[in-house]
Chain A
Amino acid sequence: MTTAFIGKSVRRTEDPRLITGKGTYVDDVKLLGMLHMALVRSPHAHARIKKINVSRASKAPGVVAIFTGADLQGQLGSLPVGWVLKQADTHTKYDMKAPPHPPLAFEKVRYVGDAVAAVVANDPYLAADAAALVDVDYELLGVVTDGEKATKRDAPQLHTEAPDNTCFEWDVHGGDYEGAAKKAQVVVKQKFINQRLIPNAMETRGVVADYNTGTNQITIWTSTQIPHLVRLLFAAVTGHPEQSVRVIAPEVGGAFGSKLYLYAEEIITGMIAKNLARPVKWVEGRQENYLATTHGRDHITYGEICGDKDGTITGLKVTTYANLGAYLSTFAPGIPTVLFGLMLSGVYKYPNVSCKVYGTFTNTTPVDAYRGAGRPEATYLVERMVDAFARELARDPVAVRRKNFLPPFKNGRAVATGVLYDSGNYRAPVDKALEMFDYKAFRKEQREARGSGKLLGVGFSTYIEICGMAPSAVAASLGAGAGLWESSTVRVHPTGKVTVFTGTSPHGQGHETTLAQVAGEHLGIPMESIEVMHGDTDRQQFGTGTFGSRSITVGGTALVMSLKKVKDKMRKIAAHQMGVPAKNVIFEDGKFYVEDIREKSMDFGTVVGEAYNAKNLPPGMEPGLEATSFFDPKNFTWPFGCHIAIVEIDEDTGQTRLKRYVAVDDIGNVINPMIVDGMVHGGIAQGVGQALQEGAVYGENGQLVTGSMLDYAVPTAEDVPSYETARTVTPSPVNPLGVKGAGEAGTIAASPAVMNAAIDALAHLGIRHLDMPLRSETVWRAINGAKAAKKAARSATATAARSGRKARR
């Protein structure tokens, strides 16, 4: 099929404004009379608020008002949870505990960064000055930061509603793992730490709120992935009528899941603007962001894999403690359960899966989705365990993977965790990746390098993920509190120009370009004639937002539906005016032709004009040319692929460097390969970052030790190489575009690929496992420990041999 735009690497239409400094991010919004808010945050991880004294602060220059949690208690409500695990669903042991989450704490603080007061001044510097003068008297309480230790009887308790700091117990069982383990010839066990990460969108969060006393309208500009859900939840929490709340997501400077929630600051800023009847701005500092914006991952897992000596894997068992932080963020309960436990089948045939997850509260920043959200944690386990199994058998990791792959399928395949994959061909990306990477030559190079002080290793990750969030009924049965469909409107203007409205809400993914490509393709008009609008609740009637690689799969499909409706109407108008039945009219190259009589035609603009002037429409047809559609998919989509990492470890220093990275992804059909490659690159860097250098660290007292960008190692351009990307194409049967979603694949695949490579480099020393991140010290200690152990074993053998000889004498 030849296409005008779909499948082409079209340059982005967003870029001209962004490369000239003309993008409008939240902090660029300035309103007349705008005030600035600074939040007073708890310096303690767990404490009772005894007294807040604002008298010094309120006398500081420029201060307009100060609000404590107690002042606003009746107005702010409690932050809601949008994913509720209930006993009624087969996976959940009891209804999850959802303790109240006051936007401004008023009795207790439960993590460093919990906000206790808001200072509003007429200048941001003065607001910060005054915030430092708010005196809070705290009574310190015991602290727990470890998600597993939190469940122990003697651990400090965060919420009376959640005994043993346990929010939920969730499990999934497919087949009979215990039976399989009994019969298995090999069982490999390993504990894994999937460390806590800080998302680090380059733009921190920020909110500007304005209140119109005449209309009772609150307008909120916020750096979010979900403007409509923010409006809905804001109205639900504060009681301000939803139709009088407008939420605008302007240019959003990255998010990676961290802007996917209703946050305390959105409520606080909005309600303070309402109280003062003045515009108020709050912009998060970076160190504040590290405390106040959600973190990701933080799993402690005990894993077990079993199978036979011929390389057949028969089962996987997982027990995970998922640290949820001090309170439940909007989607927190869904991440380590549905998006983690249900992904543990990987791309494999093993029929027995057993998974138990404890969601726990600790005195740390709330944890929620971070790029991949649950899937990186699942993939890390599966791919590390498959490697460990192969190593135990001294078999090649690629051969073991191939042996256990599900066979190819085009339309649905159920797996042990109970979910239904859409389409898959798991050998194809492996074959392609091995065309790009000479495995045999590498093994030779690896052997030869040993002894030179450079240890080389290769790691494979044959991942699968779940995208296209989501079939609403399925998601609801698993705990989702909202429908997860998507909407679009296509408005064809009288001049033939087109506005596409989408409920998705991009933050770097290039939706304006990709959706215009789809619209241009369908309407046969140039992309310059199409504008894509998003991120404003006054413009789009509703939308779910952008997360879970859903925008093209769900939002793109909603768009295709609207485009079809518009074209159908145009076909009817053209048929009516050309005097033929509509079924005889075809649309090609921007013109409506009468089939077989090619010289009889009406062009796109003419038909649009007819729709608007309404002089000669088919009987009963309404004038105008606009269509709206709502798409709720039947299934998720399941992208997959094969990533290969090659690392080099300095044997003397332990420094681990990613030398080369090959990524072959199968995300179904592709609209814009350039944009997809870009997302894959960025995703890989985040996965590599987790494997080699990132990690949020809390001290015993609950202080975030990695509290600034100086301490948390976001990868730089020097830390990563260029990446080699390619694709195989297995179209998804669940949407008309055949797309699967591309936003998270890189992150999901990369961490296990890099870690498998590192273990491959170190295995000859006897090292079987290391936890992320592979800081030089970690690797150096492992190498030296392994060498010392070998030496000790050798000398013990020698001693034994000597004493044996002596005894014989």
Chain B
Amino acid sequence: MPIQTQITVTVNGTRHTNPVEPRLLLAHYLREVLNLTGTHIGCDTSSCGACTVLLNGKAVKSCTVLAVQADGGNVTTVEGLAKDGKYHAVQQGFWDKHGLQCGFCTPGMMITAVQILERNPNPTEAEIRRGLRGNLCRCTGYHNIVEAVKAAAAASRAGGRKR
């Protein structure tokens, strides 16, 4: 058997302790070990961003992080965005503005959007586009994703809450 290392990671508020191979990618840990398949894998060169999650509050491409690097850390995936039965403003924005079609890039795209709005609650269109450039979408041409992020920003500001 390959060498296994014990890690403890808090994902969407739940603590998990598992033995993992040191080479296991965080994306695979989430998908295969924890069965959180909302995080998608779209490439093998850290290009597409479909696997983006928040690790200790920072958006990372989970295909480029080893699970062992997340040991002791705090991860938020798409499954953890909605709280108390209510969609996150970004989820609501994506639904209302038709920010998704096939849905494959959407989890990573939304996590990146959450990060953009955390850093800048009132971004311009150019700032949104710059913030999204590490996430690829082939369906929407980005038009409605940008609209979704704008809508989420407006809703978050109106709601006066920062997530």
Contact = CB atoms under 8 A, between A and B. Distances in A.
Contacts of B132: 716-718
Interface string B112-144: 000000000000010011101111111111111
18 contacts: A12-B98, A16-B95, A19-B103, A21-B36, A21-B38, A28-B37, A30-B35, A201-B138, A202-B40, A286-B42, A286-B45, A508-B102, A682-B140, A708-B47, A716-B132, A717-B130, A717-B145, A718-B130
Interface in A22-50: 22-25, 27-28, 30
A774 to B, nearest CB: 18
Interface in B13-49: 21, 23-24, 31, 35-45, 47-48
B95 A717 contact: no
Contacts of B142: 681, 685, 715-717, 720
B101 A254 contact: yes
A322 B105 CA distance: 32
Interface stretch (B3-11, B67-75, B79-87, B155-163): B79-87
Given A21-B107, A27-B37, A717 B101 contact: no
Interface in A662-684: 674-675, 677-679, 681-684
Nearest to B112: A717
B48 to A, nearest CB: 6
A253 interface: yes
B153 interface: no
A20 B77 CA distance: 9
B141 A685 contact: yes
A102 to B, nearest CB: 27
Contacts of B135: 717
Interface string A705-716: 000111000111
3 A-B pairs with least C-beta separation: A21-B38, A253-B104, A508-B102
B96 A11 contact: yes
A507 interface: yes
A283 B87 CA distance: 31
Given A21-B39, A253-B104, A716-B133, A285 B96 contact: no
B98 A674 contact: yes
Contact of B102 (A254, A685, A708): A254
A286 to B, nearest CB: 4
A769 B47 CA distance: 33
Given A508-B102, A510-B101, A684-B141, 10 more contacts: A15-B100, A19-B87, A20-B91, A21-B77, A27-B31, A202-B136, A202-B139, A685-B138, A717-B132, A717-B146
A200 B136 CA distance: 10
A200 B134 CA distance: 15
Interface in A705-750: 708-710, 714-718, 720, 722-723, 746
B50 interface: yes
A23 B1 CA distance: 33
B133 A717 contact: yes
Nearest to B102: A508
A675 B98 contact: yes
Given A20-B82, A25-B40, A678-B140, A717 B129 contact: yes
Interface residues of B, number: 59
A510 B91 CA distance: 17
A716 B129 CA distance: 8
Interface of B: 1-2, 21, 23-24, 31, 35-45, 47-48, 50, 77-79, 81-82, 87, 91, 94-96, 98, 100-107, 110, 125, 128-130, 132-146
The listed residue with most B CB atoms (<10 A of its CB), out of A253, A709, A718, is A253
Contacts of B36: 21
Nearest to B47: A709
A508 B103 contact: yes
Given A678-B101, A683-B141, A709-B136, A202 B95 contact: no
A531 B95 CA distance: 19
A714 B44 CA distance: 15
A677 B144 CA distance: 9
Contacts of B140: 678, 681-682, 685
B143 A21 contact: no
A204 interface: yes
Contacts of B101: 254, 508-510, 678-679, 682
A508 B143 CA distance: 16
A746 B143 CA distance: 13
A722 B21 CA distance: 44
B95 A15 contact: yes
A202 B104 contact: yes
Contact of B136 (A125, A252, A681, A716): A716
A686 B144 CA distance: 15
Nearest to B21: A125
A287 B47 CA distance: 12
Interface in A193-213: 199-204
A21 B37 contact: yes
Contacts of A23: 38, 103
Contact of A204 (B2, B42, B79, B91): B42
Contact of B128 (A201, A204, A715, A717): A717
A28 B134 CA distance: 24
Contact of A253 (B38, B40, B79, B96): B40
Contact of A252 (B2, B40, B102): B102
Given A15-B94, A678-B98, A717-B142, A253 B43 contact: no
Contacts of A204: 42
Nearest to A20: B82
Interface string A752-785: 0000000000000000000000000000000000
Contacts of A650: none
Contact of B94 (A19, A253, A686, A746): A19
A308 interface: no
Nearest to A678: B98
Contacts of A679: 101
B116 to A, nearest CB: 11
A256 B138 contact: yes
Given A686-B138, A710-B47, A717-B129, A723 B106 contact: no
A280 to B, nearest CB: 16
Nearest to A712: B47
Nearest to A256: B138
B32 to A, nearest CB: 8
A178 interface: no
A176 interface: no
Contact of A723 (B47, B134, B141): B141
B96 to A, nearest CB: 7
B129 A202 contact: no
A19 B101 CA distance: 11
A453 interface: no
B154 to A, nearest CB: 16
Given A19-B100, A686-B138, A681 B106 contact: no
B11 to A, nearest CB: 12
A125 to B, nearest CB: 7
B139 A287 contact: no
A169 interface: no
Given A16-B95, A708-B43, A714-B136, A202 B50 contact: yes
The listed residue with most B CB atoms (<10 A of its CB), out of A15, A199, A723, is A15
A621 interface: no
A677 B143 CA distance: 10
A242 interface: no
A626 interface: no
B103 A18 contact: yes
Nearest to B129: A717
B54 to A, nearest CB: 13
A19 to B, nearest CB: 4
A14 interface: yes
A251 interface: yes
